[in-house]
Structure 1
Amino acid sequence: MIPEASALHRHRVERVVADVWGVNASPARLAAQLHQESGWRLKARSPVGAQGIAQFMPETARWMAERFPAELGEFDPWDPVQAIHAAALYDKWLLERVQPIGWTPLSECSRWSFALRGYNGGEAWLLRERGLTIAGRADANDWRQVERFRARGTGPHAENIAYSRRILMTLEPAYIAAGWPGAAVCQ
């Protein structure tokens, strides 16, 4: 299940995760995300225009260069070293923006699910869906309840849900089982 190509980037992933998140972070989670994004293919291009190993859209790549100039410089999404670093930075930025709504607890699993869904389908869509969850009298801090509410098309919504679920529930545990450092955030 773990592509051999991942071994070529393992040291880079581990170093970037430690630099961005600290030594107790999960390189297995970022590896799982890169696996989901591109299957570790450096020249991956999606039908909608996402580019490289971390599948950045051109607009997002430009924004990343503006948002993180000291860390990324002239960001090239086709450069795997830069793209891996940018993916970790973007994940951290998104995760820091995920806040509890109301009085129910927000688990780390839900926070990561929401951050990854923001990476994949846009933070604004997720915020709309969390708002619909509140309007539907459900818990906007529980990723499973938020999944029931859709603000976008059926196909994009299903893809967005499957994206975070596969990373957190299937791929991250598989990378950990294969010896990558980290701890699964969702049990």
Structure 2
Amino acid sequence: MRHFLPAFSIPTLFAYVMLACIWCTSSVQAQEIPKAAHQYRNDLTRIARSVWGLDAPVPVFAAQIHQESGWNPGAVSKVGALGMTQFMPATAKWWCSLNSISAADCQPRNPIWSMRSLVGYDYWLYQRVYGDTEFDRLWAMKRSYNGGLGHWQKEASLVWPARDHDTIDAACGLASRARIHCAENLGYPDRILNSFQYRYSAWGRTVGQP
């Protein structure tokens, strides 16, 4: 059987193809977001905006939760990190003490506590790192969340006054951090900022590398 295409003009046909591509891309991205994530979208948006302002990069935080636990509140890592945002018990205790949160309310397994603490701790780190661009600074923030602010600060001091993340990353393992940990520490912000955040682009402002 022969099949005939409608007599579209080239521009019209191109437009239909582009719309189909956009639809396919959106559909694939939506499928790549865990089903569990959707129930937390409004809460995460509200929490992020309350700390970072109305222009908060919500997809960045969503991507980090995606990386940490796949949105699983009951997640427990091999080293004992807990909940959706994988706070170590000692870090959770320190964070609660810093913010005058009672022991009874210090609940790493609670999704709302997890989101509030991730967004708040990220902001606390963001104020203590630097970068030439917002992307560089978020990159440093994520490295510090994953591997410790002190390690990042020591490595950044070795290449000062350079402020771009590539130059600072090149110093990983040259201060107090063992080089064996660098692959994971550098891969952490890469997965979040260069991959996962774009799955959540419908949730708010993304931050790309200039």
Residues 49 and 98 of structure 1: CA distance in aligned 2, closer, same or farther (over 3 Å): same
Given residue 38 of structure 2, which amino acid in structure 1 is its aligned partner? A
Aligned match of 2:209: 186
How far the C-alpha of 1:25 sits from its partner, in A, is 0.8
Given residue 58 of structure 2, which amino acid in structure 1 is its aligned partner? P
Aligned match of 2:194: 169
Aligned match of 1:147: 169
Check whether the contact 2:129–2:153 (CA below 8 A) recurs between aligned residues.
no
How far the C-alpha of 1:28 sits from its partner, in A, is 0.9
Residues 131 and 67 of structure 1: CA distance in aligned 2, closer, same or farther (over 3 Å): same
**Structure 1: unaligned runs, 5 residues or longer:** 101-105
1:6-36: CA deviation from partner (whole Å, max 9, x where unpaired): 1011111011011111111111111001001
Aligned match of 1:34: 65
Matched, 1:107 2:133: yes
What is the aligned residue count?
A: 176
Specify the SS of the correspondent of 1:146: helix
Aligned match of 1:66: 97
Rounded to whole Å, the distance in 1 between the matches of 2:190 and 2:135 is: 10
Matched, 1:25 2:56: yes
Aligned match of 1:103: none
How far the C-alpha of 1:186 sits from its partner, in A, is 2.6
Correspondence for 1:52 among 83, 97, 100: 83
RMSD between superposed Cα atoms in Å: 1.9
Rounded to whole Å, the distance in 2 between the matches of 1:133 and 1:115 is: 17
Aligned match of 1:90: 121
Q: Give the TM-score normalised by structure 1.
A: 0.87
Residues 12 and 24 of structure 1: CA distance in aligned 2, closer, same or farther (over 3 Å): same
How far the C-alpha of 1:119 sits from its partner, in A, is 0.6
**Structure 2: unaligned runs, 5 residues or longer:** 1-31
Correspondence for 1:118 among 128, 144, 149: 144
Matched, 1:160 2:191: no
Check whether the contact 2:130–2:136 (CA below 8 A) recurs between aligned residues.
no
1:51-108: CA deviation from partner (whole Å, max 9, x where unpaired): 10000011110111011126997321111111100100000000011146xxxxx211
How far the C-alpha of 1:154 sits from its partner, in A, is 3.1
Rounded to whole Å, the distance in 1 between the matches of 2:83 and 2:187 is: 21
Rounded to whole Å, the distance in 2 between the matches of 1:155 and 1:53 is: 26
Rounded to whole Å, the distance in 1 between the matches of 2:130 and 2:181 is: 23
How far the C-alpha of 1:150 sits from its partner, in A, is 2.2
Given residue 108 of structure 2, which amino acid in structure 1 is its aligned partner? P
